[in-house]
Structure 1
Amino acid sequence: MKPLELAFIIFLSIGAIQGLIYGIILWFNKNPNKTANQFLAAILFFFSYRLVVEILKLFGLGYYDVFYHIFLEFNWIYGALIYFFVKAYTSPQFKLRINRDWIHFLPVCAEFLWSNFIKTQNFYWDGTRESLSWLGYWGYVVWMQYPTQYVITAALVIIYIRKSEQIIRTKDFETYEIIEHKTKWISRILSILKWYAFIILAVVLIDYLFFDYAFNRSYHYPILIGMALITYWLGLEGFNKKQDIIIEYKTILDDKDRIQLQSIAKKLRRAMVEDKTFKNQELTLKTLSESIDEKSYLVTKCLNLIFKQKFNDFVNTYRINELKLLLNAPENSNYTLLSLAFEAGFNSKASFNRAVKKLTGKSPSHLKP
């Protein structure tokens, strides 16, 4: 065996083993994301299976021997599993309903049956076209001499990833909403898998159209290396995020409560915009509530449900906006950033730095014009 092939086998083996290990951990992990993690584990199992098949082929197994009839194709299941992984992760109490969701697994069932049919043609093949039926002959040609498997696999992955991205983009549902920053890792996974599918699609089509579908190992290796890397990375991401909660339930308000909280919200905006109450360095929830003649618990409820902010973040948002105005005023050019921060209502350097970092994601120096 050549050194390059040996290195290739070792690399694929690492990806396959890691995929199996992470898959087992995710499958048996008991947490609120159990169903989603099991779909992710299934993706890892099928990726690992594919890598193992390729490894055995490098040892000469699977080419028209007993293993040829055992190693069946399951490539058309990836897209559906990706879709249900995202759906389960972003939908509380998700359950796979066979009576409705079975259609998504129809492609892999068709692939399984067709693959079996094509492989059984070897029992009848005697080297002549006449030894096979019309369907057997042309089925074999389409399956083995055209890039049918790869094109349909890539197309299904791309289609289902687009459906999954639509779920992530929706964010706001009737009784809950998706926490955007906690879905970035899922978006990364979808993006990588989508571009990987596009690359495979481009490679096999170029090979078929311009090189008579030679599909030699020179670029077969990079494709499988990519799958090994994705398998390892996918398992690692899933393992690290296996307990993340990315949804937040909404509090359903009746009309009376909604009208009451909207009235309080108007008072709060007036206190901030017109009275500039936020400039009070000693401002507390109690003093703010008293200034608008409302009970503290109602103000807290209004901040949480109407403004989607806690008290400190709500007040500091206005302070930061005020600071930006002060920094842009020519008459304040001789004042330091910290002195103007105190003028805007902050009462310490530490609280100022902390608030700016939390609400803007940047350091205070980025506020300067």
Structure 2
Amino acid sequence: MDTFTILIIVLLSAGAIQGLVFGAILLKSNTRNKTANKILAVLLILLSYRLVVQTMRLFGLGYYDGWYYVMLDLSWIHGALLYFYVIAQTQPGFSFNKSHWIHFLPLMLQVIFSTFVRLQNLYWDGTKESLSWLGYWGYWLWMNQPTIYIVASALIIFYTHKAEKLLHHPSEGVIIDSERLGWLKTIITAFKLYFSMVLLILLGDLIFFKATTDEYYFYFIRFYYYPFFIGISILTYWIGIEGFKRKDLQEITVKTKLDPEKEQQLKMVAKALQKCMQEQELFKEPNLNLNKTAEFLRIKPYLVSQSLNEVLNTKFNDFINSYRIAEVQKLLLDPKKNKHNLLTLAMEAGFNSKSSFNRSVKKQLGISPNELRNAR
């Protein structure tokens, strides 16, 4: 076995193992967003299964046996699962219903046609005449051409396009937080771009090969065959890690439409909140809470909470900590202060513990506290 083959085995195995491990964890997870986690788990397991079968072939195992055929029969469902994952992440209380069956139609067609093609082996004696017209050309189209991969890639492009539209135009009243929205846009864009490239290579190679040679075309010995699976392995590895990190995200909730008078009242509260943070620097109070803030503004606590949720789209702690982090960043720019350690600056900005500071920096900036000094 040459070095290149060993490298391919390592790369495919890394994606497969990652997908299977995180798929199993997500499948058993019982968080509020369990529907999305289970859809992602199924997608990871199917992608990993595809990589396992391909790795087996490198060891001379699985050629045209049950493992191989089942793998082919499942390849047209990946795009739909990606789409349903986005729906489950962006629509409150999502569950499958009868109207969704149409999205599984490509999978059913693939199973039916794959079964028909495999049955031709019962009649084939090595000659074209031993098969019916449909049997012969069906086998030729299905087994000796990249038809399955072309259709699978096209389906993924189609469903990622639908998912992008959903992310740009969510249901009325649905507010998607930036962490969830950013992650979903990134994963959908990655799959769309990758499989657009795959589709162009498949079609381009097929057309060029047919136009320049009379030799028989076998897609599974073409130059792109194993690099194609390395790309799938990387996507599987990456989506497994990122999806697992977000397995505890709460389900999306729908915000009720406010009447104009109430909306105006909450906007005024929001302005008062921002003003007291910017001018009075209320956030520097280490023990600041919702009640103390409401008392300072001389309004009811529930109005502060509603204003944060409905107008500023945030929670009280996140709102306060955003000002504290901004203050730490400001202190780091001060030559008289930036020589102090980060914890000292964090306490001066209003944080009351190291753990609270660390969590807030990671959540709001996506970096570790140690990186904060270099990120200014």
State the TM-score bracket (shorter-chain normalisation): 0.7 to 0.9
Report the equivalent of 1:92.
92
Of 243, 248, 251, the residue aligned with 1:243 is 248
Gaps of 5+ in 2: 211-216, 284-291, 327-333, 337-345, 352-356, 366-371
| More divergent stretch after superposition (100-109 vs 299-308) | 299-308
Offset of residue 231 of structure 1:
1.4
1:168 aligns to what? 167
Deviation at 1:186, TM superposition (A): 2.0
CA–CA distance in 2 between the matches of 1:201 and 1:135?
A: 26
Specify whether residues 268 and 47 from structure 1 end up closer, same or farther in structure 2 by C-alpha distance, changes over 3 A only. closer
After TM superposition, give the deviation of residue 143 of structure 1 in Å: 1.5
Question: Matches of residues 292-303 of structure 1 in structure 2 within 5 Å?
Answer: 297-298=302-303, 301-302=306-307
CA distance in 2, matches of 1:227, 1:271: 48
Moved more, 84-93 or 137-146: 137-146
**Taking every aligned residue pair, what percent have the same amino acid on both sides?**
39
Alignment match, 1:18: 18
Contact 2:157–2:195 (CA under 8 A) maintained in structure 1: yes
| CA–CA distance in structure 2, aligned partners of residues 237 and 67 of structure 1 | 28
Task: Pick closer, same or farther for the CA change 1:17–1:181 going to 2, 3 Å.
Answer: closer
1:1-369 pair list within 5 angstroms = 1-64=1-64, 72-97=72-97, 99-171=98-170, 173-174=172-173, 176-212=174-210, 213-215=217-219, 216-245=221-250, 247-251=252-256, 253=258, 255=259, 258-263=260-265, 265=267, 279=279, 285=293, 289=297, 297-298=302-303, 301-302=306-307, 304-308=309-313, 350-351=348-349
Deviations 1:75-126 (A, max 9, x none): 10001111111111222221111x2111100101111111111122122112
State the alpha-carbon separation in 2 of the partners of residues 23 and 296 from structure 1.
42
Give the match's secondary structure for 1:126: coil
Partner deviation per Cα, 1:253-305 (whole Å, 9 max, x = no partner)? 4x4xx5145256458769999xx996456798568745xxx656546544543
Q: Is the 8 A contact 1:262 1:306 kept in 2?
A: no
Check the 8 A contact 1:183/1:246 in 2, yes or no: no
Pairwise CA distance, 1:167: 2.0
Inter-partner Cα distance in structure 1 for 2:273 and 2:90: 38
Q: Which amino acid counterpart does residue 204 of structure 1 have in structure 2?
A: L
What amino acid is aligned across from residue 149 of structure 1 in structure 2?
Answer: I
Distance 1:140 1:163 in 2: 32
Question: Which sections of structure 1, spanning at least 5 residues, go unmatched?
Answer: 321-335, 339-347
Q: Is the 8 A contact 1:22 1:235 kept in 2?
A: yes
State the alpha-carbon separation in 2 of the partners of residues 244 and 21 from structure 1: 20
Q: Distance in 1 between matches of 2:236 and 2:269?
A: 54
**Aligned amino acid, residue 83 of structure 1:** Y
Measured against aligned partners, the alpha-carbon deviations of 1:147-171 in whole angstroms (never above 9, x if no partner) come to 3211111110011111112222224
**Cα offset, 1:310, TM superposition:** 7.0
* AA at the equivalent of 2:32: P
Q: Identify the residue that residue 329 of structure 1 maps to in structure 2.
A: none
Q: Distance in 2 between matches of 1:75 and 1:177?
A: 33
State the AA in 2 paired with 1:86.
V
Cα RMSD after superposing both structures: 4.0
What TM-score, normalized to structure 1? 0.74
3-state DSSP of counterpart to 2:193: helix
C-alpha distance in structure 2 between counterparts of 1:64 and 1:298, whole Å: 66
Letter matched to residue 232 of structure 2: M
Q: Deviations over 1:196-233 (max 9, x none)?
A: 21121011111101123453353212111111121111
